[in-house]
Structure 1
Amino acid sequence: MKLKLLLFIWFIALSATAQNKQLLYNFDGLPQNLMLNPGGETDFDMHIGFPLLSQIHLSAGSSGISLYDIFQKGGDVNQRIRKSLGNLDRNDFFTVNQQLEIFSLGWRDQKRRYFTAGIYQELDAFLYFPKDPAVLTYEGNRNYIGESFNFSDAAFTAEALNVFHIGFTNYYSEDFNYGFRGKIYSGVFNAYSVGNRGSFRTEISPAGPNLYRHYMTGLDVLINTSGYADLLDSENVTGIGTLSKIGKRAFLGGNLGLGLDAGFTWYPSDQYRVTGSLLDIGFIRHSKNVENYRYYGSYQTDGIALLFPGSNSPSYWDEWEDELDRNLKDETLTNTYITWRPLKINASVDFGFYENAEPCNCHRPMGRRRYYNHLGAHFFAMKRPRGLNYATTIYYDRTFNENFRGKVTFTADSYSFSNIGLLLSAKLSNFNVYLAADNLLDYTNLAKARNASVQLGFQLLFTRE
């Protein structure tokens, strides 16, 4: 059981990602830049994404330890697990985020405004390391007499949804443009458990019938779910039935919500650019196929004074179980609840140099100089249940010619202080392909990596003659 607990946690970690897309942010040669900043710029006048292929995003991460810390060769694996448990705290986390663009389209009107519309699928989950419950499960309470194990350490969110969006970028002046994007969220699945309470404590009680006395105080654990319960019904276990239900929920038949993205780009001068954005200012109201699982109560016991079985011996295990049932209650409810989407914040400043004097058909503001090179800094933050997670990036963006461009990043975040990333984008006529990956230094041994990601996409880009 001890090893299974750690394997389960690392299974989640291997599916994990941060939602920071520092390689795509400010990359005006790709329409995905507008998904990160609705007020960003584009150097084309129309784009059409290849369905299911215009953006594929996969990554993995852990803020505390790597697989190598536990499963390296040699030594005692149990000792490494115990050491890892000691190194992790309740604010360490594992995240899961995967995105897939189903449909993507953009076009520029006669006033140079750029409109976008599309659908993308997203899977997002966030798990704080349950420090006290994990230690209690793995090591027991023998060495922790008098100490409390807090169930508030257990907190997680998980959801799968489709996002329908439409937005625009407007050039307000030669030096400033802004944009907004409206979103409709169609929830497929959600699980939410935050704000749990309660503690477990063991004390020595020499005056009692047993050496130890155990206290369960103020326990109140609540797990909200939607889109989960009916998938377990026997008549819906078949693949066709499950896919049918998921498909209906994904396309506006599930729990619905609303969201907003906003962003801007400002040029203090031709060479300096300042940008910022707020993404996923929104919520989902869960009222369909909802089940809430609650476990609560308080309890005190002097342990189990076991006797050898005899003709008149009571069933101590049965009595103890009945005592727990009388004091610790569990309920299954169907209460509506609301979840807020994880707000994301982007901000950047960069400096352009080595002027690009080639003719431009990209409808930029008149008189604006363009540059082959950009050197900048990007700040990212994301709202999670216990506060913001941060990342800071410095980058170098290089345009080699009208068909080939690249970007190199160096990022410090909760996973690593040496995250090097690379983005390459190539265009052949109207066809564009891009590939991005970060944490390149760890690709020689992914077991040592705390975070790694890959993004790629294919689309058609058009520029007016």
Structure 2
Amino acid sequence: MQRILLVLIFFVTIICNGQNRPLLYNVDDLPQSLLQNPGARIDFTRHVGIPFFSQIHLSAGSTGVTAYDIFADDGSDVNQRVRNVMRDITAGDYFSVNEQLEILSVGWKMGDRGYFSTGIYQELDVFAYFPKDPAVLAFEGNANYIGQDFDFSDANFTGEVLTVYHAGFNFKVDAKLSVGGRLKLYSGIFNVESTDNEGVFRTIETPGGPNFYRHEVSGLNVTVNTSGYASLKNEEGMTVDQAAAELMSRSLFGQNGGVGVDLGFNYRVTNQFSVNASVQDLGLMFHQKDVENYNYFGSFQTNGLEPLFPELDNNEATIPYWDIFEDRVDLSLQDETTNNAYTTWRPLKYNASFEFGTGKSILPCDYLISKKPRFMNLFGMLISGVNRPKGPTYGVTAYWDRKVNDHLRFRLAYAVDEFSITKLGFMMSSRFKNFNIYLAANDIIGYTNLAKANSASLQLGMQFIFKDL
């Protein structure tokens, strides 16, 4: 089983990517902006992505702790560093790894006002809150926490790998408003989730009782749902290579399915000022095949073992105290494995922004408008977030977008989010005739020392983009 778990980790690692991408949001000459807002304003008539290379995005982050906090080579005791981190970090801090690899992407103008786009991408999303109470109990024990509850609800995580088939339509209603929608069909490869757990462990002083302390587990109800894992675990004699091949075989057609939508709009209040908003992945996944659920539940209390030491002859066995204790625990704290289907919501993403342009220029041709005013400098602010089990995560990004000419564009951004209050980003898009290549990096200060960075994000891609007269 350990080797199969290593394969899962390896599979997750090679396709890591990200979800919210503020550096590409509202970039009207990149097709990737339609994935974030299907109603975005665009100025191209066709696009064809280079398979597997039109979008590769890697992103990971951690709030409250960095690798340097644990592994600093400063001569201090690693156990003390772990204690310091566990003291400072809270159950609201989290770790995340996100992925989106675009396999296929194409689009073309339809009529005078419409644009149709479709494609396939593979996505990974891993999100885990720091399980503070269980971690402290496991690492430090309960001696210093008499009378304090250790809450099992701190164990809260989700993870999924899936392929997304999508088709979207962008429509220009008039000179001011464009709207759009995107239908998505999800094909699940792997899923694990454990949320809404309950139960506490506590140790209470009992001076008048049979022992100094009483240990209690009350209201325990912890569930871990999985899909796409049981078949790997149960396959007798499966090698690492076979497990890897099995996971790769599900990349295009997984065992479980789902459906979702993206919706968005862009409204030009004046020629210079516009507002827009979108929601992504308003949808569900239905896990019905290759499902395995693990449930731990019950309540239990004990004052410890009370051994007796009677005189025994050679034919008498000692009292099996530990076996009796284990039987009591097993009767009170039970575990069961089932194969019940379950449903999960996709992590809903939302964006809202405004943008102001200066340095007016005129482009003679655009399929949306016969004479489109283009502003060489765009100043904007974007609010974005993702729904998570304990509430949404969010960020605010301010940016300056400079269109140098028809072939070169860059964006500088400053963001504040739950990872950092000094997040600087840079995006550059360059076009050689119809061939486009772009690169975007967020939190570039962190790249100077990744061990001390709370987050890192890198995105790049290449494609053919056409602007017909």
Show the counterpart of 2:404. 400
Q: Name the structure 2 match of 1:153.
A: 154
How far off its partner does 1:365 sit? 2.1
1:365 matched to 2:369? The reply is yes
Instruction: Tell me if the contact between 1:15 and 1:60 (Cα under 8 Å) persists in the aligned partners.
Output: no
Q: Does 1:445 align with 2:434?
A: no
Q: 1:98 to 1:81 in 2, by over 3 A?
A: same
Residue 350 of structure 1: aligned partner:
355
What SS does structure 2 have at the residue aligned with 1:443? helix
Matched residues in 1 for 2:237 and 2:46: separation? 43
1:338 matches 2:338? no
* Letter aligned with residue 290 of structure 1: V
User: What is the CA–CA distance in structure 1 between the aligned matches of 2:287 and 2:14, rounded to whole Å?
Assistant: 28
CA contact (8 A) 2:39 2:264 kept: yes
> Contact (CA 8 Å) 2:437, 2:460: kept in 1 or not?
yes
Q: Spell out the pairing of 1:369-448 with structure 2 (5 A cutoff).
A: 369-448=373-452
For 1:159-180, what per-residue CA distance to the aligned partner results, in whole angstroms no more than 9, with x for missing partners? 1000000001000011000000
1:16-95 → structure 2 map (5 Å cutoff) = 19-72=19-72, 73-95=74-96
User: 1:138-287 alignment to 2 at 5 Å?
Assistant: 138-235=139-236, 237-238=238-239, 241-243=242-244, 245-247=246-248, 249-287=250-288
Residue 239 (structure 1) shift:
5.4
How far the C-alpha of 1:207 sits from its partner, in A, is: 3.2
| Amino acid corresponding to residue 348 of structure 1 in structure 2 | S
* TM-score normalised by length of structure 1: 0.93
Deviations 1:210-254 (A, max 9, x none): 322100101010111111100123347245643554355443441
Q: Is the 8 A contact 2:51 2:103 kept in 1?
A: yes
- Structure 1 counterpart of 2:21, one-letter code: K
DSSP 3-state at the match of 1:369: strand
SS at match of 1:135: helix
**One-letter amino acid of the counterpart of residue 32, structure 1:** Q
Cα distance in 2 for residues equivalent to 1:45 and 1:276? 22
Cα distance in 2 for partners of 1:318, 1:416 equals 52
Contact 2:34 2:40 (C-alpha < 8 Å) held by counterparts: yes
> Does structure 1 conserve the Cα–Cα contact (< 8 Å) formed by 2:17 and 2:56?
no
Partner Cα distance (1:16, 1:316) in 2: 50
CA distance in structure 1 between the aligned counterparts of 2:327 and 2:222, rounded to whole angstroms: 20
In structure 1, the partner of 2:98 is 97
CA distance 1:67–1:240, shift in 2 (3 Å): closer
**Structure 2 stretches lacking a partner, 5+ long:** 1-11
User: Are the counterparts in 2 of residues 16 and 95 from structure 1 also a CA contact under 8 Å?
Assistant: no
| TM superposition shift of 1:14 | 13
SS in structure 1 opposite 2:83? helix
Identical-pair percentage: 47
Partner secondary structure for residue 384 of structure 1: coil
Give the structure 1 partner of residue 332 of structure 2: 327
* Alignment check: 8 A CA contact 2:151 2:200 kept: yes
Say which SS state the counterpart of residue 464 (structure 1) adopts: coil
Distance 1:313 1:239, change over 3 A: closer
Q: SS in structure 2 opposite 1:40?
A: coil
SS in 2 for 1:90: coil
Structure-1 separation of matches of 2:370 and 2:29: 19
Residues 98, 310 of structure 1: CA spacing in aligned structure 2 closer, same or farther, 3 A cutoff? Answer: farther
Whether contact under 8 Å (2:364, 2:371) holds in the other structure is no
Distance 2:386 2:305 in 1: 47
State how far apart, in whole Å, the 2-side matches of 1:310 and 1:121 are: 69
Comparing 205-214 with 216-225, which one deviates more in the overlay?
205-214
Contact 1:18 1:95 in 2 (8 A): no
Alignment-mate amino acid for residue 94 of structure 1: F
Any unmatched runs of 5+ in structure 1?
A: 1-11
- After superposition, give the CA deviation of every residue in 1:419-462 in whole Å (9 maximum; x if it has no partner): 00000111111111111101111211111100111000011111
Question: Structure 1 residue 151: deviation in Å?
Answer: 0.4
- Give a deviation string over 1:367-394, Cα, whole Å, max 9, x none: 5411111001000011111111110000
What's 1:314 paired with? 319
Q: Is the deviation greater in 419-428 or in 248-257?
A: 248-257
Matched with 1:3 is: none
**Counterparts of 2:281 and 2:294 in 1: how far apart (Å)?**
28
Distance 2:189 2:308 in 1: 52
Distance 1:31 1:74, change over 3 A: same
Alpha carbons of structure 1 residues 362 and 243: separation in structure 2 relative to 1, 3 Å: farther
- Normalising by structure 2, we get a TM-score of 0.92
Deviation at 1:209, TM superposition (A): 3.4
Cα offsets for 1:19-67 (capped at 9, x unmatched): 3210010111211000000001222111111111110010221111111
Report the 3-state secondary structure (helix = DSSP H, G, I; strand = E; otherwise coil) of the residue aligned with 1:251.
Answer: coil
